[in-house]
Amino acid sequence: MGFIEAVLLTIVTAATPLLIAALGELVTERSGVLNLGVEGMMIMGAIAGFAFALMSGNPYVGVIAGVGFGALFSLLFAFLTVTLVTNQVATGLALTILGLGISGLWGEAFVGVPGVKLLPIEIPLLSEIPLIGKLLFAQDIIFYCSIVLLFGVSCFLFKSRMGLTLRAVGDNHTSAHALGISVSRVRYLAVMFGGACSGLAGAYMSLVYTTQWIENMTAGRGWIALALVVFASWRPNRVLIGAYLFGAVGIAQLHIQALGFKIPSQFLSALPYLATIIVLVIISRNRRLTIINTPASLGKGFVPDR
């Protein structure tokens, strides 16, 4: 395996969880709900994935558990913000704090325990293609999922009736309600889809990215996924670009050090966070673009007039 191939492979590994979590959050936000708890749902997916894979010895059980726990955990958020109409920003923070707490408690027994690795599935023939073969067709199931999700979310949002309904709810919940659309049902489902995606992204962290449990192992990736949605101005295809861009920044530190540059490791570790800030600034500068694309009822609770 050449150097370039190795670099590209690490980019894919770093980008996949960002892509999945951001796509899920994109759907949630398109329905008008801002769930800042991505970090918390991801870490829940990571611990659940790790624990269930270890207990069953089967990494696929871990994947399913990650998705399930992510969705279940987001249900808590949905109940508060949709049914009880609590402040979405504060509730999202609560979800993150709680997720980090629960995962820390649950994971204590697993610190230092080697986990189960989710192995790649080589697709015959296609994986033989030079350079991209190994990159795209000899990956694990979660990577394939991320690609399917990308096209699935695009089609769902812009080609299906349900996607249209979801966008309508995110644009104007009062009008949607007047048309007889159940705003709360759409939002519950959208939040849970986001939770399931975050859970899957978390499971990737503990089953593929590093096959062990480390407290706070998502290390802000949930927040970066949130920034990616803004970066992508709520368009799935741009999430793909953003995720791989950030993946590249994120792994830059590994390779820069490998190449022998004498830059303190902390500075390199700070790169993804600094890049997030810079990207947010560049995107937000164009206010017109942001205003047009932001779902109009994003972050606003809805209480029907009877």
Partner 1 sequence: MFGDFTANKNIDFDIKPGEIHALLGENGAGKSTLVKMLYGSLQPTSGSIRIDGDEVEITSPGKARALGIGMVFQHFSLFEALSVAENIALSLAEDISVSEVARRASEYSERYGLPLNPEAIIGDLSVGERQRVEIVRCLLQEPKLLILDEPTSVLTPQEAENLFKTLNQLKSEGRSILFISHRLEEVRTHCDRATILRFGEVIASCDPREETAASLANMMVGSTVRNVDRSSRNVSSDVVLELNRLSLSAQTQFSVPLSEINLKVHAGEIVGVAGIAGNGQSELFEAICGERISIKSDSVSIGGERVGKLGINKRRKLGAAFIPEERNGHGAIAAFKLSDNMLLARHASDDQKFQKGGRLRLIWQDMIQSATSRVSEAMDVRKSGVNPYAASLSGGNLQKFIVGRELDRSPSLLVVNQPSWGVDAGAAQRIRQALIDLAAAGSAVLVLSQDLDEILEISDRIAVLFDGHLSEPLNAETASREDIGLLMAGVGMATGEAKHVA
Partner 2 sequence: MSPKFSIRLEKRDQLSSFFSIVSPFIALLMTVALGAVLFAFLGKNPAEALYVYFIEPLTETWSLHELAIKAAPLILIAVGLSLCFRSGNWNIGAEGQFVMGGVAGSMLPIVFPTFDSFLVLPLMLICGIVGGMAWASIPAILKNRFGANEILTSLMLVYVAELFLDWIVRGPWRNPQGFNFPESRGFTEWQILPEMLASGRMHYGALIAVLVVLAAWVMLSKTLKGFEISVVGQAPRAGRFAGFDPKKTTLFVFLVSGGLAGLAGIAEVSGAIQQLRPSISPGYGFTAIIVAFLGRLNPLGIFAAAIILALSYLGGEAAQVSLNVSDKVTSVFQGMLLFFVLAADTLIHHRIKFSRPVMKTVMGA
- Is there binding between residue 276 and partner 2 (CB under 8 A)? yes
Contact of 166 with 187, CB cutoff 8 Å: no
| CA–CA distance, 38 with 102 (Å, rounded to integer) | 15
CB 72 within 8 A of CB 93: no
- Could you tell me which residues come within 8 angstroms of residue 245 by beta carbon, excluding any fewer than 6 positions away? none
The Cα 128–Cα 141 span in angstroms is 18
Among the listed ranges 8-16, 155-163, 172-180, 267-275, the one in contact with partner 2 (CB under 8 A) is: 267-275
State the nearest-atom distance from the C-beta of 91 to partner 2, in Å: 5
The answer to whether residue 130 forms part of the interface with partner 2 (CB under 8 A) is: no
Task: Report the residue number, 171 or 215, with the smaller CB distance to partner 1.
Answer: 171
For residue 98, state whether it binds partner 2 (rule: CB under 8 A).
Answer: yes
Q: Where does residue 43 rank: exposed (0-12), middle (13-18), buried (19+ CB within 10 A)?
A: buried
Binding flag, residue 296, partner 1 (CB under 8 A)? yes
Residue 295 site contact among partner 2, partner 1, none (CB < 5 to 8 Å, cut-off depends on kind): partner 1
Residue 246 identity:
F
**Binding partner selected for residue 164 from partner 2, partner 1, none, CB under the kind-specific 5 to 8 Å limit:** partner 1
If the CB atoms of residues 175 and 284 are measured against partner 1, the closer one turns out to be: 175
Q: Which two tokens stand for residue 256?
A: 């820069």
Q: Is 155 in the site for partner 1 (CB under 8 A)?
A: no
Joined together, the tokens standing for residue 182 give 């159940």
The answer to whether 258 contacts partner 2 (rule: CB under 8 A) is no
Q: How far is the CB of 156 from partner 1 (least distance, A)?
A: 14
Does 291 contact partner 1 by CB under 8 A?
A: yes
Asked whether 217 and 206 are in contact (CB, 8 A), the reply is yes
Q: For partner 2, which stretch binds (CB under 8 A), given 96-104, 132-140, 152-160, 185-193?
A: 96-104
Within 13 Å, how many C-alpha atoms sit on residue 61's CB side? 11
Distance CA 185, CA 177 (A): 11
Q: Select 30 or 134, whichever has its Cβ closest to partner 1.
A: 30
By CB under 8 A, tell whether 105 contacts partner 1: no
Alpha-carbon radius of gyration of the chain: 19
How far apart are alpha carbons 224 and 64 in whole angstroms?
24
Among 171, 184, 214, 256, binds partner 1 (CB under 8 A): 171
* 255's tokens: 């390779």
The half-sphere exposure of 116 on its side-chain side, counting CA atoms within 13 A, is 19
259 forms part of the interface with partner 2 (CB under 8 A): no
Binding site for partner 2 (CB under 8 A): 36, 76, 80, 83-87, 89-91, 93-95, 97-102, 104-105, 108, 219-220, 223, 226-227, 230, 264, 266-267, 269-270, 273-274, 276-277, 280-281, 284-285, 287, 290, 303, 306
